[in-house]
Chains A and B, each alone.
Chain A
C-alpha cells in the first residue's frame, strides 16, 4: 500500500513543476477594528493563492507578497474573516468586523445556515487541523477537553478501539447515548458492531469493533461543529436526539493548483500496567503448587530468577501517516483530491490499524444560480485487534508467573508451551495469544455525497443532497486449537460479513427576506434515510489442519450460521422560521414531522416542535457600555421525538432452535405491539458575552433534559413470558451547565496567547425506573466480580452497584464464626456514580512569529472508578494488598451468632493468618473496597509545537512553497488520585448502551503515551 501512495505523489509533483507563477509585488496596509478605529495587532494575513502568511504588527501594519488577482485573507480570533482581492493598487487598509464570531454563520442542519447571533442554543466548533496534529488512530479521542459538554471514553489502548462519545449526559437507560455523525449535511454510520449479531452471541466485553467514524481521514476535515442543544437535533430527526457532530470536509478554493503533503511519524510507548508484586510463588495457603495461577505459595527462594515479563511483552511501536492533497481548478470548477495512507501499530505485538483513504471532492458553479458539489471517498481499513477482556493477553500478562520467561511461548516443535503440566486448563501465554489467535476486521467503505444548490433569487436557495455510505466489514476471529479457548473446541473460527448501506438525502429551501427592520429566515425541507445492515456470521470448530485459517478447515458438523438484519427507513419534514427585529432580537420556531418504519404497524408519524429566543442586548448598549463588545441572552425550549432504537420490535422475534426437531421459539426479549415514540423535553438558557474587543468571551448555558416513556428493554418477572421486554417506560432527568470561556490574554505583533476553558457539569437523576421496578441493570456491564452498571430511582444512569460484605443493622461487617472471615452479601447495592462532578478542558494556543505551541489539559473532578484489575491481582495474591499476608489479622466486625443485630453484638476476636488462609483475599473480599471514590485527574491530553519555516526561504523556489515542522504528544502526563493506571477507561466496547462500561477498569489496555513528528510541505 505504501508503494501505491508513493506512486501517487509523482504525478502531483510533475503537475506542479509545470505551473509557472505570476510576478509578485509587495502589498501593504493597516488593519483596524471596525467602529473602534484601533489598529489590530496579530491579525494573520494570508495570500490565499500562494499560501504565504504574515501577521500585523502593533500598529496594525502588514506587508505581504502578492500579484494582481490574488486574494488576501485576514483572520483573527474573535473577528470575522475578511477577504481582499489584489488588483493594481499596492495598499489595502482593512476594517475587521468587531462583532466578530456573532456575524459568523453556523451550519445548523442539512444545508441551513443561520447567523450565529440568531441561534438560541449552544454550538461549538473544532478545527480539523487541531485533530490532525494529534495523529490518533481514532481522532474522536482528541475531542476530549476541546468541547464543553462532550465526554469521549476510549475503550482500549490498541489501534482501532472504539470510542464512546456522550454529549451532556447519558439519557437512555440502555440505548445508544452517542451523537449522530453528519458529514457534509448527511448522516453517516458511526456504528460499533454489537456481538449479539454473531453466531457466538457474545457479551460486548471480550471483543471490540471500531466505531466506524474512525474510517474518516482527519486530514479531510475542515471543521467539526458540535450541537449539544435540542433544536438543531430536532431538525436532524430522531437519530440526533443525543446531539449531533457536524463534520464539514475540506473543499478546494479554486485558483492555482496547490499540493500539500502531510506526514507524521508516531512513536507509541509501552503502556503502563498495574503494579504487580512478584514476591510469593504459585500455590494455595502457603503451599507451593506450580499448576495454579495463584500466588499464595511460599516466598520465592532467594536467588530465583524473576523476569520482567511486562516489559518483554510490549513493544515501542512506530506508526506513520502520509496525507496528500491536491487542489485546484477555477472559481467555476475546482477539485480536491486527497489520497492518504496511515498505519498505526499498537504496543501490543501484531496489532495495527491500516487506513487507506482516497477522496475526491469537486465543486462547480454550473451557472450563476446553480452550484454543484460532490465528494467520493473510498476507504480501506484493516484492523488487527488482539484479544480483550477475559482470556485475553492482558489478564494473562498480569497473572503470568514471574519466574517463567514469557518470551518462551512455544516448544521447539512449534506447539504451545504449557507451564502448569498437561491436564490443567491454563490461560494462554500472551505471546501465544497475539501470535496464534487472530482477531481482525477489514472494512471496505465508499462514501458518496452529491449536492445541487439552486439560487434563482438572492433571497431564495434550494439545496438537494443525496448520499450513500456503503461498507462491508469482514471479520475473522480464530482460536488456535492449542489455545486455552480453542482446546475444548479443537480450534474455533468465527467469521462475519457486515454489509451496511445507508442511502439518504434531503431537499431544503431557504428563504431570506428582510422587510424594514424585520428579517425573516425560513427553511423548509424533507429528508429520507434508508439504513440497512445484514450481518452474516458463521463459525466452525475442530480444525483439520491446525494452522490453516479458513472456515473450510473446520468439521462440517460443527458449522453454524446466523443472519442478523437491521433495516430502518425514515423520512421527515421540517421547517424553521427565524424572525428578527432590528438585528438584536430573534425568535426561532422549529417543527418536525418524522415517520419511522420501526413503529409500523402503529402510527409511524410523530411531530415535535421547538422554539428559541435570542436577544443581542449589546446592540442597545453599544454606545453606553463600550467594554462590552457583544452580549446575547438566549433561551430555547424543544421537544425531540425518538423512534424505536432497533427495527422489528413491534412483534416478538422467534429464534431458530438447535434442539432435536428444530423449530422456533420466542427470543428472550419480548416485542411490544403497542410501541410508541419516546419524547425528550429540553429547555436551556444562557448568555454569550464578549468584552474588550473580544479579548474575553463567555458562553454559558444551563440545560434541563427530561426523557419520559423511554423505549427500554428492562428485565422483568418471567411472568411476562419473556426475560426482558421492550417497553415505553422510565423517566430520566439530566441538568447541567456548559461554560466556555475564551480569552486572548496577550496579542501583539509577534506573540499571541489564546485560551479556551470548557467547563461541563451534568447531574443525571432517574425519576422512575422502567416498569415501575426498583432497579435496572445493564447485563453486559457485569463483566467482572460482583460489580455492574445498575441503578435505581434517585440514582443516575452512570451509577455503579456491587456486592459486598454482609452488614448488621448498625453497619458492622458480619463475620462467620467458623472461619473468622467476613460474610459476603450477594445483593447489589448502589455504591457510587461513575459520572464526574465536573470536567474542565483547558485549551491553550501560543504563537510567536512562526512558532506555535498548543496544548489541551483535560481535568475532571469526582466520579467513581471500579479498579477491577487490582481486585483481580488481589484474588491472585499479586496485589500490594496481599503483601501483609504474614501478619496475623482479626477482621473488624461482629460475629454471626444470632446476636449480630442486637444491642450488644459479639465483636470478632478470631485471629487468622492469611498466609495459610488465602480466603481472606480471594474469596471473602468486598468489591466495595475496589470502587475508588471521587477520582480526579489532570491530564495533558495533547500538546503540539509547530514551526513554520520562514517564507523567505522559499520565495525563490518554485517547487516548495512552505514547510512546517511539528512535534506533538498525547497523554504525556496524568496526575490522578486513582491507584490504577488510567481512570479514563471502559470495560466494554462502544456498542453497549446506557453509560456502557465507562469507569469499569478491568482487562483493558490503557491509552498509551505517544509522540508524533509532523512534516507539512506545501508545493
Chain B
C-alpha cells in the first residue's frame, strides 16, 4: 500500500511540475500587453490614415479635387463596387483605433492614469462622430463584443447621443486629480498633439461637441446657443489646432499621408493624378469672389504655366493635358504637388499640405469660428455672425501663412461682406469651404449635405448631370441621385456582416444616396 502512495505522490508531483514546465504562452518577440502611453501614439497615425485615405474620394464628392482623367465614377458621385476603397475611416474606427483604445482605457483605469482614460474617450467620441457622419448608421452598441460575429447597426441618433456622452465622460476624467497624472503617467510624451496640455484636449472635446451640435442645424432640436457655447470653450487660436505631427526628415512610414513619400509603397496615399477642382480655383482666382484674388491662392493652389488658376470639373479630367509625360501645355493644370499631373512627385518635394513632413490637420480654430458664424446667423444675430466669419477667415489665412498685410487687404475687400446687413449664408459656407479645403473634407461634406448641394450656397459647385458635356453624368447605381453617405467597408460588412447590413438596407445599389438622419428636419 505504501508503495502505491509513494508512486501516486511522485506521479502527481510530476504533473504539477510538468504544467509549470509548459511556461506562460506569451510571445517573447512581440508584447501582448503594453502600457497606455505606448498605445497612444499610433492612434494619431490611424486618425490620419482614416481621414487622408477617404478624403481622396469624398474630396471628389465635395469637389476639393478631381483626377486628371475623364469619367471617374467617384467624381460622378459613385463608388467602386466590391472594393474596400472609401473604407479607411471604417478601418480606423473599428480596427486601427478600436480595441487599441479599449486596451489603453483598461490599462489606464487600472493604474489610475486618468488623462489616458479621458483621451481614450475623446478619441472614441471623435471616431464615432466621423464614422457616423461618413456612413450614417454604424455598428456601435455591439462593437468589439467578444464572441460576437454579426453586429447590428445603430441609428445615427444613437451615435450622436453616445458622442455627447463620451465627451462629457472625457471632460470628467480630465478633471480628475487623484491618480497618476502628467509626467508621472508619461502622458506628455505620449501626447504627440498637445504635449500633455489638458486644457487643449478639453478644447478639442468641445470642438467635437460643437460639430455634433451644428450638424443638427436642420432639426427642430437644434440649439444655436449651445453650439455657440461649445465653440466658445473650444479652440481659441491656431495654437489650439489638433495637428498630427511628422518628423522633420520623415521616411515613408512616418511621413504625412498626403506627402510624396507614401505614394510608391504605402497605402493609402494620394497620387500624381490628383488635381485641384474648378470650384476651388474659381473661389480663389476671383471668378466667384467678386474679382478678388485670394492671397491663399498661391499657397494652396497651383497655377498653370500661363500663371492662371484652373481646376478640373467632375468627370472631365484636364482637357488641356498633354498626353506626353514630360511636356506640359501652357493651360494644363499641374497636380496638387505642383508638377505635371500623372507624374509621381519625388520624395521630399510637394507643397502646402502635400508635403512629407507637414502636420495633418484634424480640427482647426478657423473651423470653430465658421461654426459659430453659422450658428449666430441661424439665430439671427448677424453682427456676431460677421465677427466670427472674419475671425474664421483670419485664422485660415494665418494657418495658410498669408502675410498680415495681405490678410487685412483681403478682409477689407469685396470678397468679404463688410456689413452685417449684406451677410449671407453663402459667404459663411464658401469661406468655410476655402478654409477647410484639402483637410476638413468631411466637415465640408456635412455642410454641403445639410444644404443639399445647393449651388446658390455652394457657388462654383458643378452639379451633375451638366448638359454641356456627356461623360460626366451620375454613376449608374445612383438612379439619378447625388451621394449622401458612403457604404460601409466592403470586406468588412458586405462580405462578413451582410445580414445585419441588410436590416438598414445597406444592400440597396443606391444605398449611398440615402439621406442620413442628421440632415433631416
Contacts and interface: CB of A to CB of B under 8 A. Distances in A.
Interface of A: 423, 488, 534, 557-558, 563-565, 567, 569-571, 595-601, 604, 647-648, 650-668, 670-671, 673-674, 715-723, 771-775, 826-827
Given A648-B26, A719-B148, A723-B492, 11 more contacts: A569-B23, A571-B18, A571-B21, A597-B25, A654-B33, A657-B45, A664-B38, A665-B46, A665-B96, A717-B500, A718-B94
Interface stretch (B245-253, B300-308, B361-369, B382-390): B245-253
Most buried by B among A600, A659, A772: A659
B82 interface: yes
B34 A721 contact: no
B44 interface: yes
A717 B95 contact: no
Given A488-B265, A659-B42, A722 B25 contact: no
Contact of B495 (A647, A652, A715): A715
Contact of A604 (B22, B83, B142): B22
B278 to A, nearest CB: 26
B288 interface: no
B245 A660 contact: yes
A654 B30 contact: yes
A360 to B, nearest CB: 31
Interface in B7-45: 18-19, 21-34, 38-45
A860 B244 CA distance: 60
B39 A600 contact: no
B192 interface: yes
Contacts of A534: 29
15 contacts: A565-B28, A600-B25, A651-B33, A653-B30, A658-B253, A660-B250, A662-B41, A665-B42, A666-B95, A670-B99, A674-B146, A721-B99, A721-B102, A721-B144, A722-B95
Contact of A663 (B40, B82, B98): B40
A253 to B, nearest CB: 39
Nearest to B38: A663
Contacts of A565: 27-29
B100 interface: yes
Contact of B253 (A650, A659, A716): A659
Contacts of A659: 41-42, 44-45, 253-254
B29 A654 contact: no
Contact of A826 (B26, B81, B250): B81
A174 to B, nearest CB: 15
Contacts, number: 183
Contacts of B83: 826
A652 B32 CA distance: 6
> Looking at chain B, what size class is its interface with the partner chain?
35 or more
B402 interface: no
A653 B294 CA distance: 51
B41 A651 contact: no
Given A565-B28, A659-B253, A719 B45 contact: no
Interface string B276-308: 000000000000000000000000000000000
Centre residue among B19, B29, B44, B250 by max chain A CB count within 10 A: B29
Nearest to A564: B29
A596 B23 CA distance: 10
Nearest to B499: A774
Interface in B232-275: 244-247, 250-251, 253-254, 264-265
A716 B39 contact: no
B19 A717 contact: no
A719 B139 contact: yes
B149 A660 contact: no
B264 A488 contact: yes
A656 B250 contact: no
B419 interface: no
A596 B22 contact: yes
Nearest to A722: B95
Contacts of B251: 557-558
Interface in B489-505: 489, 491-493, 495-498, 500
Contacts of B33: 651, 654
Nearest to A562: B29
B31 A718 contact: no
B100 A718 contact: no
B423 interface: no
B27 A661 contact: no
Given A652-B99, A721-B99, A664 B26 contact: no
B79 interface: no
A567 B95 contact: no
A773 B496 contact: yes
B149 A663 contact: no
Given A664-B42, A826-B81, A654 B28 contact: no
A723 B82 CA distance: 17
A661 B32 contact: no
B174 interface: no
Given A660-B254, A720-B148, A654 B40 contact: no
Interface in B458-490: 489
A675 to B, nearest CB: 10
A558 B347 CA distance: 14
B370 interface: no
Given A601-B25, A772-B149, A718 B489 contact: yes
B103 interface: yes
Contact of B19 (A595, A657, A663, A775): A595
A654 B142 contact: no
Contact of A717 (B81, B102, B103, B151): B151
Nearest to A534: B29
Contact of A658 (B38, B82, B254, B500): B254
A808 B84 CA distance: 25
Nearest to A727: B149
A721 B41 contact: no
Contact of A660 (B28, B41, B90, B190): B41
A775 B81 contact: no
A668 B495 contact: no
A654 B19 contact: no
A599 B22 CA distance: 10
Interface in B90-126: 90-91, 94-96, 98-100, 102-103
Nearest to A489: B265
A666 B30 contact: no
Given A658-B254, A663-B41, A771-B149, A719 B492 contact: yes
B140 to A, nearest CB: 9
A826 B80 CA distance: 10
B405 interface: no
Given A595-B22, A604-B22, A648 B27 contact: yes
B42 A718 contact: no
B192 A660 contact: yes
Nearest to A658: B253
B150 interface: yes
Nearest to B490: A826
Contacts of A773: 149, 496
B34 A664 contact: yes
Contacts of A664: 30-31, 34, 38-39, 42
Given A534-B29, A650-B25, A654-B32, A720 B245 contact: no
B96 A598 contact: no
A715 B42 CA distance: 23
B492 A718 contact: yes
A600 B27 CA distance: 12
Contact of A666 (B90, B100, B246): B100
A666 B99 contact: yes
A596 B38 CA distance: 31
Contacts of A674: 146-147
B325 interface: yes
B384 to A, nearest CB: 39
A860 B279 CA distance: 65
A570 B21 CA distance: 9
B87 to A, nearest CB: 9
Nearest to B249: A557
A653 B32 contact: yes
Contact of A661 (B44, B146, B497): B44
